Amino acid sequence: MTAFKVLLYYCYTTIEEAEVFALEHLDYCKAIGLKGRIIVAQEGINGTVSGTTEACETYMQFLKSDKRFAAIEFKIDDINEHVFHKMHVRVKPEIVHLGVRGENALDPNKRTGKHLSPQEFLSMKDRNDVVVVDMRSNYEYELGKFKNAITLGLENFRDLPDHLHQLEPYKGKKILTYCTGGIKCEKASALLLEHGFEEVYQLHGGVVKYAQETGGVDFEGELYVFDGRIKVGVNKVNPTIISNCYVCGVVSTRMVNCANPDCNIHTTLCEKCGIEYDGGCSVECKEHPRKRPYNEKGYYPKPAIDYL
């Protein structure tokens, strides 16, 4: 048994006094030695944490013992060490930011797309009456995605409402949505239903669960993850690499942030170009007066992403 594990989870459930809950939850996580990033809102909880096998087992039992979180399904990966540096629990308006709130707020517990198990998703995804749609941001799907999946060019998930028109030609088809762990699709599929799409489905547990239960067949490239690993392998059946260096175009899966803080683009940059451009993604960024010193890893904090 490996010494550490990483847990990915979410739960849409009502949390009254979210600020009080967040403070108490932070203290508990620190007390048992967890590190990670948890978002709390009145609509639920969304987290990725790492810790020893014992600490993770304790944490899962702790959450499951609370009836509000009884429905949580944990996606669990074996790791060799912590994949976070600190423990953060933050209160936000939503556990995944879509920006559709107020009287138009989406409640996945009341309406969402039909959940498909990984095996059901696999059996449906290549049918002629089906369209597979990636609900993640551009830097995620550029690293890896399902074969023939439609991508929407999202810089952030909150941009989704402005990009739904791209799916209008497919209103007569079954829409199969997917994301990393399932949380984005809960709201994305609900939004599609609100906009007149009638047959909307979502990959239950996301690509993470799909990889565990199907061997990741037909997922091209690697999976971007929101922890210190940055990316993980998915496909053990017919693996490929689809990502290329942002600068020179050579095949590369090396994800970095541009060393220029005013750019800070998160993209692929091969080691050669990293050295040549001193961590920048262009000549302009290399010569920028505020450019951060290149550390040969290219990991710099992006706004609101603490694991980097």
**Which CATH number belongs to the domain containing residue 116 in this structure?**
3.40.250.10
pLDDT tens digits, 130-158: 999 999 999 999 999 999 999 999 999 99
Residue where one domain finishes, among candidates 232, 256, 272: 232
Instruction: Tell me: do 224 and 114 sit in the same domain.
Output: yes
Q: How many CB atoms lie within 10 A of CB 236?
A: 12
238 inside domain:
no
23 inside domain:
yes
pLDDT of 285 higher than 70:
yes
How many CA atoms are closer than 13 Å to the CA of 213, on its beta-carbon side?
17
Q: Find the domain containing 167 and state its range.
A: 108-232
207 inside domain:
yes
Q: Please give the Cα distance from 37 to 256 (Å, whole number).
A: 20
pLDDT of 226 higher than 70:
yes
Instruction: Tell me: do 207 and 251 sit in the same domain.
Output: no
pLDDT confidence of residue 297: 75
Question: Band of the pLDDT at 298, cuts 50, 70, 90?
Answer: confident
The domain that contains 23 carries what CATH number?
Answer: 3.30.70.100
Mean pLDDT confidence for 180-205 = 96
Report which of residues 296 and 68 the model is more confident about.
Answer: 68
Residue where one domain finishes, among candidates 45, 66, 91: 91
pLDDT confidence of residue 300: 64
Least confident of 103-107, 167-171, 229-233, 285-289: 103-107
Instruction: Tell me: do 123 and 221 sit in the same domain.
Output: yes
Instruction: Tell me: do 151 and 226 sit in the same domain.
Output: yes
Is 263 a known active-site residue? no
Q: What is the dihedral of CA 229, 306, 308, 141, to 10 degrees?
A: 60
Print burial letters for 33-44: b (CB count within 10 Å at least 16), e (below 16).
Answer: bbbbbbbbbbbb
Instruction: Tell me: do 215 and 274 sit in the same domain.
Output: no
Residue where one domain finishes, among candidates 182, 210, 232: 232
Instruction: Tell me: do 248 and 300 sit in the same domain.
Output: yes
pLDDT tens digits, 11-55: 999 999 999 999 999 999 999 999 999 999 999 999 999 999 999
Instruction: Tell me: do 47 and 81 sit in the same domain.
Output: yes
The tally of domains found in the chain comes to 3
Asked whether the whole model's pTM tops 0.85, one would answer: yes
Percent of the chain scored above 70 by pLDDT? 95
Q: What is the dihedral of CA 29, 30, 34, 37, to 10 degrees?
A: 70
**Are 135 and 188 contacting, i.e. CB atoms less than 8 angstroms apart?**
yes
Question: Band of the pLDDT at 2, cuts 50, 70, 90?
Answer: low
pLDDT confidence of residue 81: 94
pLDDT of 106 higher than 70:
yes
pLDDT confidence of residue 304: 40
Identify which of 10, 60, 11 has the alpha carbon closest to the alpha carbon of residue 34.
60
**Are 160 and 145 contacting, i.e. CB atoms less than 8 angstroms apart?**
no
Least confident of 98-102, 125-129, 294-298: 98-102
**Are 178 and 121 contacting, i.e. CB atoms less than 8 angstroms apart?**
yes
Mean pLDDT confidence for 260-279 = 94
237 inside domain:
no
> What residues form DSSP beta bridges with 4?
52, 79
Q: Please give the Cα distance from 200 to 104 (Å, whole number).
A: 19
Instruction: Tell me: do 193 and 297 sit in the same domain.
Output: no
99 inside domain:
no
100 inside domain:
no
Percent of the chain scored above 90 by pLDDT? 90
pLDDT tens digits, 67-102: 999 999 999 999 999 999 999 999 999 999 998 766
Instruction: Tell me: do 135 and 72 sit in the same domain.
Output: no
Task: Report the mean per-residue pLDDT for the chain.
Answer: 93
285 inside domain:
yes
Instruction: Tell me: do 113 and 222 sit in the same domain.
Output: yes
Instruction: Tell me: do 227 and 159 sit in the same domain.
Output: yes
Catalytic residue among 11, 29, 56, 179: 179
Mean pLDDT confidence for 278-303 = 84
Instruction: Tell me: do 275 and 195 sit in the same domain.
Output: no
Question: Band of the pLDDT at 59, cuts 50, 70, 90?
Answer: very high
239 inside domain:
no
